[in-house]
Amino acid sequence: MNLIETKPVGDANFYKFSVDFTGDDFILGGKTLPLGIITHDILNIPADKLLYVFKTGDKLNDLYNRLNAENYSDELFTSIWNAVEKILDIIGKIKPFSYFDIRGEYEHIDLLLGDDKIKEWQRSFSSLPIPNINFVPEGTAMHDHIIVLTEFIKSYIYLCADTFNFYKVAMMYFVNLTENGFRDKVLLAGFTKEFFGKEEVAEWIEELNATEITHNFTLEPGVWMAPVVLENKNGSAMLGRRIHFDRMLNFYVTDLFEGLAAGHYSWQCGICHRFFFMETAHKQLYCSTVNPEYGVPCAYVAKNKLNMPKQKKKDGFGYAIWKKRYDSLRNEKHKTNKNLPSAKYDVDVCDKAIELAKRHYEEAQIDFDYAQNQYEQDMILRNLINEAKEALGKK
């Protein structure tokens, strides 16, 4: 009997999935992500797509009710297949759903409701006195297949209703958080306790019950957790916790509160009003995304508008990385000037690397793609030194 899990969780899908939590991160579908990012991604789902997901899920729920009430028909099973595929088509490229194994979901649909499977369902139901899922004899292979099918359908109903309802709760919470300006962990905890302790908020959350099948919105996720031993990027063993989810809402609520506890949460930009994710820069006021109206990040917009709070340099994106690298390069320069045995680089190389680090930092303030995908790599000390040597024509 294994008391500690050591196997990889494998591919994640919407039917049943597990997530490994390690420190301030979690691992989903082979991707390592910061806690709180799922909540942030939901907040930034376009409103039209979110509404479409909800309405399509509601139609799927109607089909599920028909499945329980009506006798088998090809039309009903095909309609269920179409509804699930519509949901997948709209969410396939949207975060946080794109973190999952979307291709595997399509394959799963075909296994349960593809053309060949429809013919098999037709033969199986035609052999029953009453061709209804509620009259399939227990203990048979067909009964097991029906359970898999219904659980699969319900997972998509949960996904749609839970996402829509969680969005409304999270939106209300983070708008209020931004308006109150709470950033300190003590204030954050106090605000959270007060917000979710309000009777009107509790009543409103309780009323968020889009379908009977979702059993009301809850902030008390029912999950199964087990200790797990994983390997980090260096191949060393590390301890974590593996949480098994069977409903999207349980995952969302876990991510929300785990993120808040780690100091990872969303903040509403005072310029474009989109939410940006704060992992380290907890005094950041504006997002680093290029504002389409002005062509520069919102922090630059605020800098040049009257009566707008100005964001300090140290509170912007990437400042901590720049400061750390600037200090290390100054230290290298000092060792060279003092002729210390540990000196590695010429003074002109250090100066050039400092100049390049500043240039990379400034580029990260105006180029969102660069900031997210390349900035940290360019700011590695070894890379800065090599870039400086190349610019100076040195080896």
Quickly list DSSP for 145-180: HHHHHHHHHHHHHHHHHHHHHHHHHHHHHHHHHHHH
- Write down the mean pLDDT value for the chain: 82
Once rounded to an integer, what is the mean pLDDT over residues 220-241? 75
Q: Which residue has the tokens 């799927």?
A: 60
Q: What whole-number distance in Å separates Cα of residue 66 and Cα of residue 207?
A: 25
Highest mean pLDDT: which range of 20-24, 60-64, 227-231, 317-321: 60-64
CA geometry: angle 154, 245, 146, nearest 5 deg: 35
Q: Which residue has the tokens 């429809």?
A: 118
Eight-class DSSP state of 341:
T
Tally of CA atoms within 13 A in the half-sphere of 274 that contains its CB: 18
With contact defined as beta carbons under 8 Å apart, do 320 and 375 qualify? no
Highest mean pLDDT: which range of 144-153, 185-194, 310-319, 338-347: 144-153
Q: What are phi and psi of 311, to 5 degrees?
A: -95, 125
The token duo for 40 is 């942030």
With contact defined as beta carbons under 8 Å apart, do 31 and 62 qualify? no
Flag the least confident range among 23-27, 51-55, 99-103, 179-183: 179-183
Domain limits, the chain = 1-268, 318-392
With contact defined as beta carbons under 8 Å apart, do 101 and 29 qualify? yes
Strand 25-28 to 275-278 pairing? unpaired
Own/partner contacts of 124-132, CB < 8 Å, gap of 24 or more, are 125/71, 125/72, 126/72, 130/71, 131/71, 131/72, 132/70, 132/71, 132/72
Per-residue model confidence (pLDDT) at position 321: 86
Flag the least confident range among 117-121, 224-228, 263-267: 224-228
- Within 8 A by CB and 6+ apart from 271, the residues are 286, 287, 291, 298, 301, 302, 308
Once rounded to an integer, what is the mean pLDDT over residues 20-27? 87
Per-residue model confidence (pLDDT) at position 11: 58
- pLDDT above 70 for 64: yes
With contact defined as beta carbons under 8 Å apart, do 254 and 239 qualify? no
Q: What whole-number distance in Å separates Cα of residue 20 and Cα of residue 8?
A: 9
With contact defined as beta carbons under 8 Å apart, do 348 and 329 qualify? no
**Predicted confidence band of residue 236 (pLDDT cuts 50, 70, 90):** confident
Once rounded to an integer, what is the mean pLDDT over residues 132-155? 90
- pLDDT above 70 for 373: yes
Q: What whole-number distance in Å separates Cα of residue 14 and Cα of residue 159?
A: 8
Amino acid (1-letter code) at residue 203 = E
- pLDDT above 60 for 41: yes
Per-residue model confidence (pLDDT) at position 75: 94
Q: What are phi and psi of 280, to 5 degrees?
A: -130, -40
With contact defined as beta carbons under 8 Å apart, do 43 and 275 qualify? yes
Per-residue model confidence (pLDDT) at position 211: 47
- pLDDT above 70 for 254: yes
Per-residue model confidence (pLDDT) at position 215: 55
Q: What whole-number distance in Å separates Cα of residue 364 and Cα of residue 374?
A: 9
Highest mean pLDDT: which range of 42-51, 185-194, 269-278, 330-339: 42-51
**Predicted confidence band of residue 130 (pLDDT cuts 50, 70, 90):** very high
Q: What are phi and psi of 363, to 5 degrees?
A: -65, -35
Percent of the chain with pLDDT over 90: 17
Q: What whole-number distance in Å separates Cα of residue 287 and Cα of residue 299?
A: 7
Tell which wins on pLDDT, 102 or 220: 102
Amino acid (1-letter code) at residue 283 = K
With contact defined as beta carbons under 8 Å apart, do 230 and 240 qualify? yes
Over the stretch 297-335, which tens digit does the pLDDT of each residue have? 777 777 766 455 555 566 666 778 888 888 888 888 888
